[in-house]
Structure 1
Amino acid sequence: MATRRLPPLRSLEAFVRIVRLGSAKAAANELALSPSALSRRVTALEDFVGKKLFLRQHQAMKLTEDGQSLFDAVAPALDELAEKIGTHMGDSRLLRLRLAVMPLFAAQRLVPRMRELRRLYPALHIDMESSSHPVPRLGDTLDAAIILSDGPDPSLHMVQLDQNRVHAIASTELVAMLGDTPDPDLLAKQNFLVHSDMERSFEAWRKAAGLLPRHRPTVDHYDSGPLILEAAAQGLGVAIMHGDHLSRSNDARLAPLYDLEVESPYSYWFVCRPRALENRQVRIFHDWLVNAKL
């Protein structure tokens, strides 16, 4: 019986990465390829299957129906292949978890408890990164992630890790200047520091503080919680963050602004693909994290 030819694995990998990351540029960076090299791999796959997989529109690449069908068939098989190969690589006694986690959660809540995890499971090692949009890479280059989200994604296994309140945080000097009671006209003259992924937190806080649509304070966006805290400590503006970010920072330069009860639209969540829980390293970390109540 003749063996059926398979397409080049690198072409399949490039195809799946583009779809999951939603961008040819991001996929090229992830694979350390030039845009032209990535394009050649996709073209080779299209030539092999004899079908157009993407519609190319300027910088965007949109899946065709044939492309979507191929992705649905191939991506799970590649994930399974990667898992099986992983079990035969290196020292089988080591369990390695590829985890994405937001920097402030890692610094304030996860890393301080890692020695406890290591004592319980000395074979578990964690490759940790702080990528800003990890979900498309779950099941590919990441096993799991800890993210800020405003609600569950039915395609993922998600565990809510907290329920927080939104606080305004500023330097002690700025807090003293702004007083104990919100003054919308005075607040409208301030600069606010907001995480790029937490815009709704700022909207919730400004409503509670009495800022109207006519009040238009300036807003600087950051993609890093530690940078926001440091900018606030340096007097660059009022940071809109979760309350425990301040209490865990132990930074005497910072203080809460006003005593407002504002429920956050966002929580920290542990997320992974449902099938990832079949992997021992993911299951160990998942169960420890849920019970540890960081």
Structure 2
Amino acid sequence: MSDRDLPSLNALRAFEAAARLGSMSLAAQELHVTHGAVSRQVRALEEALGQPLFVRQGRGVALTVIGQQLREQCSAAFGQLREAWLQLRHARATAAFVLGCSGSVLARWVIPRLERLRHELPALTLHLAVQEEPVAGQLADVDAALLLAAPPWPAGWQVHELAPERIGPVLSPRYPGAERLRELPASALCDEPLLHTASRPQAWPEWARAMDLPPESLQQAQALPHLYFLLEAAAAGLGVAIAPQPLVADDLASGRLLAPWGFRETSARWALVSARHTEDARLAALADWLRRELAEA
């Protein structure tokens, strides 16, 4: 059977509503169209069948015999579609929501907040996947990804921007000279070995420019493969690291790390992104929750 063997779905909807309500006007109100639009759709069906579906009855309409037969079939078909749609929506709402993010963000920020997320979004069953700098193709494997990146975003992505990135130097109280450095301006870091990661080579230069320091005056020392290792090295007193504020908020609160020069905003953004546009309410709910958490940090 081809599409040409079937009437217009809009025409069937208009007919079903008019038949159920016994009125073209009431059908038009329900479907948010004009009376004339419903009449034209019904007339198209009648012309295709070669016989009438309605007859006038008082101020309304009544079904002919063939109209009654078509109504029964339409009611059954639309009922099955409605039930199938509700089942699909329920299955989607109860399925796990797969969130991708980098291992560093996962370990240092997401996991410590999982219990609070489960308490505040009990209907969200969250599965986590590690994705380092995902591209559009990789997003097909997840429902959404939590990114820390700079716009512009790839075409076709659905993007919920959550917060601007703020970065700053952090060091351990155990770091040699920590007490001295805490009393000095940020320019004192030009004489210190600075820890960095290959994945964010622009972090230190961005911070330096925000502080009106020449980036070339900084001495980048030990490189580490991931931000998580970078911050653990800083906590061990091995050097001064550069970090996004939310990822060290808990360490600053506990005194494990210090941030004597504060944090500066960069061009990057925290964002929850999906490779497809979707009406999934879980995506918006998760974006709102992440936005609140980042604001508190």
TM-score, normalization by structure 1: 0.56
Aligned-residue offset at 1:98:
1.8
> What's the counterpart of residue 176 of structure 1?
179
CA contact (8 A) 2:208 2:215 kept: no
> What's the counterpart of residue 141 of structure 2?
141
* Residues 247, 115 of structure 1: alpha-carbon distance in 2 compared, 3 angstrom cutoff: closer
1:204 is matched by which residue type in structure 2?
A: E
Aligned partner (choices 233, 236, 239) of residue 238 of structure 2: 236
Aligned-residue offset at 1:96:
1.5
Aligned-residue offset at 1:213:
5.6
1:145 is matched by which residue type in structure 2?
A: A
> What's the counterpart of residue 126 of structure 1?
126
3-state SS of paired residue (1:227): helix
1:193 is matched by which residue type in structure 2?
A: L
* Residues 108, 182 of structure 1: alpha-carbon distance in 2 compared, 3 angstrom cutoff: same
CA contact (8 A) 1:152 1:158 kept: no
3-state SS of paired residue (2:148): strand
Aligned-residue offset at 1:265:
2.6
Q: Does 1:100 align with 2:100?
A: yes
Moved more, 229-238 or 137-146: 137-146
3-state SS of paired residue (2:203): helix
Cα separation, 1, equivalents of 2:119 and 2:189: 49
> What's the counterpart of residue 255 of structure 1?
258
3-state SS of paired residue (2:160): strand
TM-score, normalization by structure 2: 0.56
> What's the counterpart of residue 245 of structure 1?
247
Cα separation, 2, equivalents of 1:158 and 1:225: 24
Structure 2 segments unaligned to the other structure (5+ residues): 2-86
CA contact (8 A) 1:98 1:126 kept: yes
> What's the counterpart of residue 269 of structure 1?
271
Aligned partner (choices 202, 205, 210) of residue 203 of structure 1: 205
* Residues 180, 145 of structure 1: alpha-carbon distance in 2 compared, 3 angstrom cutoff: same
CA contact (8 A) 1:193 1:238 kept: yes
* Residues 102, 214 of structure 1: alpha-carbon distance in 2 compared, 3 angstrom cutoff: closer
Cα separation, 2, equivalents of 1:192 and 1:232: 10
3-state SS of paired residue (1:255): coil
Cα separation, 1, equivalents of 2:285 and 2:240: 39
- CA offsets 1:257-276 (integer angstroms, 9 cap, x no match): 3x35632232211111233x
* Residues 182, 121 of structure 1: alpha-carbon distance in 2 compared, 3 angstrom cutoff: closer
Cα separation, 2, equivalents of 1:131 and 1:197: 13
Cα separation, 1, equivalents of 2:192 and 2:250: 25
Aligned-residue offset at 1:254:
1.6
* Residues 244, 214 of structure 1: alpha-carbon distance in 2 compared, 3 angstrom cutoff: closer
1:160 is matched by which residue type in structure 2?
A: E
Cα separation, 1, equivalents of 2:182 and 2:128: 41
- CA offsets 1:9-40 (integer angstroms, 9 cap, x no match): xxxxxxxxxxxxxxxxxxxxxxxxxxxxxxxx
* Residues 282, 137 of structure 1: alpha-carbon distance in 2 compared, 3 angstrom cutoff: farther
Show the 5 A alignment for 1:1-294: 94-107=94-107, 109-119=109-119, 122=122, 124-155=124-155, 156-172=157-173, 173-174=175-176, 175-182=178-185, 184=187, 187-209=189-211, 211-212=213-214, 215-249=217-251, 250-257=253-260, 259=261, 262-275=264-277, 277-279=278-280, 281-282=282-283, 285-286=286-287, 288-290=289-291
Cα separation, 1, equivalents of 2:100 and 2:263: 30
What is the Cα-based RMSD across aligned positions, in Å?
A: 3.5
Q: Percent identity?
A: 24
3-state SS of paired residue (2:243): strand
- CA offsets 1:160-203 (integer angstroms, 9 cap, x no match): 2112432110112442233522374x534422223444333311
Cα separation, 1, equivalents of 2:96 and 2:243: 32
1:205 is matched by which residue type in structure 2?
A: W
Q: Which has the larger radius of gyration?
A: 2
CA contact (8 A) 1:157 1:271 kept: yes
